[in-house]
Amino acid sequence: MVRGSDNGSEKMAEGDNSAELLKEKANQYFKEKDYENAIKYYSEALELNPTNAIYYSNRSLAYLRTECYGYALADATKALEIDKNYIKGYYRRATSNMALGKFKAALKDYETVVRVRPNDKDARMKYQECNKIVKQKAFERAIASDETKKSVVDSLDIENMTIEDDYAGPKLENGKVTLAFMKEMMDWFEDQKKLHRKCAYQILVQVKEVLSKLPSLIEIALKETEKITICGDTHGQYYDLLNIFKLNGLPSETNPYLFNGDFVDRGSFSLEVILTLFGFKLLYPDNFHLLRGNHETDNMNQMYGFEGEVKAKYTAQMFQLFSEVFQWLPLAQCINNKVLVMHGGLFSEDGVTLEDLRKIERNRQPPDSGPMCDLLWSDPQPQNGRSISKRGVSCQFGPDVTERFLNQNKLDFIVRSHEVKAEGYEVTHSGKCITVFSAPNYCDQMGNKGAYIHLRGSDLKPEFHQFTAVPHPNVKPMAYANTLMQMGLM
C-alpha cells in the first residue's frame, strides 16, 4: 500500500515537472511574441496540471495579446476560482473587462487589488483611471437624450474659421476635395504635418452628408472587365496605407476600392488614415467604399487610441464629430449579387437575409447582440455549429452556418476581415469564407504580412496580393491609447 502511494506521488511530481517545463517553453514563446505557440504550451501545461492558477493567468495574458478577450476573461476567472488570493488574476480579469468595455466589472477587480495592496501605486492609479471612466459613462447616460441631442455640425462655424498665413499645407479648392488636394495632403501627412482644422472639419461635415444618404447594405455591380480591390483592417498604419496605393495604384473611377473597417485605433497615425480615406470617399463617392468595423465605435476608440489621438492633435469636439460620422458608415456590401463583404462575419442565428441587413438602423453605437453586432464582431471557426466568441462579443460560426446562409441568400462566398493572419489572408469553409487583413506587422510586433484582394466582374474569383510592412516614424503603436490598455496589453 505504501509503495503504491509512493508511485502515485512520483507520477504527480513527474506531471508537475513536465507541466513546469511546458510553462517555461510557453514563456519563451511569449517573450518572442509568438502568442499562438505560447497559448498552445500553456494549454498543454494545464492538461497536466489543471489546478495551477499561474498557468491560467499566463494564458490569459497571451489571449489578451491576440485580442481573444472572452477567452482571457474566462482564464483569469478560472485562476481566481483556484486561488482567490492570486492578485495577478484580478489584474488580468480587469484588463479583459476593460477591453470589452465592461468598466464596472473592471473597477470591482481594481478595488480588490487596492484593498489587498493599499500601498501599490500602480494599482491605485489603475483604480482611479477606471473609476474616472465609470463616472464619465454614468454622466453621459444621465445627460443623453436622442430627442434633444444636437449634432456637432450645428455648433460649427466653418466659414469663419481662419487659416493662418503661416499655414503652408493643403487647402480644399473652393471647399471641395480634388485629386491635387489629396496628393498634397498625403505628402503633408507623410512628413508628419497636421492638416489645418478647418480642412479637417470640412472633410468630416461633407463625408457625414454623403454617408448618411447611403443604405446599410451597399450593392454594386462590376462589369466583366472591371475589378475592385478589397482591403482589410488598416488600424492607423498610415505608411502601410500609402504603400497599398503605391503597389496597387491610387483610387480612381477605374480603380475602385473597398476598405473593410477598422481604419483607426492601435496604430498611432489613425487620423492620417481616416482623413485620407474620407477624402477619397468625397472624391470618388461611387467608386471608393468604406464599411464600418468594430473599432469605428466609441468604446473601442476610448480604449485603443483614436479618441486620445484626435484630442492630442485637434479637440474633443472633433472626436465627437468623428463619432457621429462613424455611425453612418454602411455595414455590408454585396458585389454582383454573389459576394457579401462585412467586417466581422455571420450571425448568431440562422435565417438572416440580405433584406434584414437593408433594414438595419445603423446610426447608433452597436448593440451587444443581433445582426448589427454580428456583422462587426463575429469570427469563423473550423468546426460546424456555433460557439461562444473568443472575443467575448457575438459568436463564432462554422462552415455549415456559412453554407446555409449562402444558400438562403443565393451567394457564392463572404469576405471579411477583423483577424490578423500570418499571410495577410486566409481561405476557410471550403473557399466560402475569406479573411483579408491589411495591417502588416500589426502593432509593430506580430510579424504578419498584409494583403488585399482583387475581384473581377468576369468571374469574381479572388486574387490575393501580399505585401510587407514599410518603415514608419518612431511613434509606437498605442501611443494615444488609454493608459490602462497600454499597461495591460503592450
Name 438's Cβ contacts closer than 8 Å, sequence gap at least 6.
231, 232, 233, 234, 240, 244, 417, 424, 450, 451, 452
DSSP string, 407-422: HHHT-SEEEE--S--T
Q: Is 289 a catalytic residue?
A: no
Measured torsion, CA atoms of residues 233, 236, 241, 242, in degrees rounded to the nearest 10? 180
- In three-state secondary structure terms, 87 is helix
Sign of the dihedral through C-alpha 288, 292, 297, 300: negative
The one catalytic residue in 295, 343, 418, 472 is 295
Give the position of cell 494599482.
123
Provide the CA 367 distance to its chain's centre, in angstroms: 16
CA nearest to 239, candidates 454, 444, 489, 448? 444
Return phi, psi of residue 341, to 5°: -115, 130
Give the position of cell 450645428.
154
Give Cα separations from 5 to 1, 9, 16, 41, 483 (angstroms). 6, 6, 17, 29, 52
CA nearest to 262, candidates 201, 318, 217, 305? 305
Helix (H) or strand (E) holding 433: strand 433-436
Cell of residue 55, nine digits: 498557468
Cell of residue 46, nine digits: 494545464
Cell of residue 65, nine digits: 495579446
Residue 95 · residue 75 · CB < 8 Å: no
DSSP string, 158-213: GGG----TT--S---BTTB--HHHHHHHHHHHHTTPPPPHHHHHHHHHHHHHHHHT
Crossing angle for the helix pair 197-212 and 316-326, nearest 10 degrees? 20
End-to-end CA distance of the chain: 52
* Residues catalogued as catalytic: 295
